[in-house]
Structure 1
């Protein structure tokens, strides 16, 4: 019987404050590319940890935008390795809002959310040399 690859389940998480300079739309909304950029960052760390190389995020087989990302959010991006090939790794990527600005309470008011809001899910392919 073949043992499962111990690299399966490797998870990398980054948190980032979403600056107001990234708001492009009414209601301080941020475009979806912002979250995809964060997925690129966590995928790069996955490649470094697993393979000692930055690798290349080659593409997405699925992307689902589930909720808004707003300036003033604290966004958590996670990539989990769900498949390991010879030169490719499939990643399950998730972006969650863990804190949100509350401009109605004041210009610098914000709060940590009781439950993080999942705003983007994706399946990505990472390629390493």
Structure 2
């Protein structure tokens, strides 16, 4: 039996975190912001693997490793780890690739030499069952 070609497929999105999303002192952004990004990359994974947006069933694990701040540029990646009949297990990672530098000026920012991993997670999405004769998308 050969390995499923969808395993290992990765989708990455980048997004600037606007200052309007800061909820806490120090321009901190709540963790739900990153989970929303994970939902977006999971949707694209489902479209690419199954020609359907799919539905998020849940997270097995979520870990917050470092803060997300307004002015960050986040990179969120979902990678297909396992493929079931209708379920897809995805490994998520969010990294800060650029960061605001208010200490240098009101609009100063920098590209980080090494991205900072801020959130990792494992989640499951489900897609509709395909009917016979329906084409299967290729990754």
TM-score by length of 2: 0.92
Equivalent residue number for residue 113 of structure 1: 112
Equivalent residue number for residue 98 of structure 2: 99
Equivalent residue number for residue 38 of structure 1: 37
Distance (Å, rounded) in 1 between the aligned partners of 2:57 and 2:116: 27
Helix, strand or coil: the match of 1:44? helix
Unaligned 5+ residue runs, structure 2? Answer: 129-139
Aligned ranges 1:1-129 → 2 under 5 Å = 2-129=1-128
Equivalent residue number for residue 136 of structure 2: none
Q: RMSD across aligned C-alpha pairs, in angstroms?
A: 0.3
Distance (Å, rounded) in 1 between the aligned partners of 2:63 and 2:37: 15
Distance (Å, rounded) in 2 between the aligned partners of 1:17 and 1:91: 23
User: Which consecutive aligned stretches of 4+ in structure 1 deviate over 4 angstroms post-superposition?
Assistant: none
Distance (Å, rounded) in 1 between the aligned partners of 2:126 and 2:5: 18
- Structure 1 or 2, whichever has the larger Rg, is 2
Distance (Å, rounded) in 2 between the aligned partners of 1:98 and 1:56: 28
> How far did residue 57 of structure 1 move?
1.0
1:60-92 deviations in Å (ceiling 9; x for gaps): 000000000000000000000000000000000
Distance (Å, rounded) in 2 between the aligned partners of 1:100 and 1:80: 24
TM-score by length of 1: 0.99
Helix, strand or coil: the match of 2:36? helix
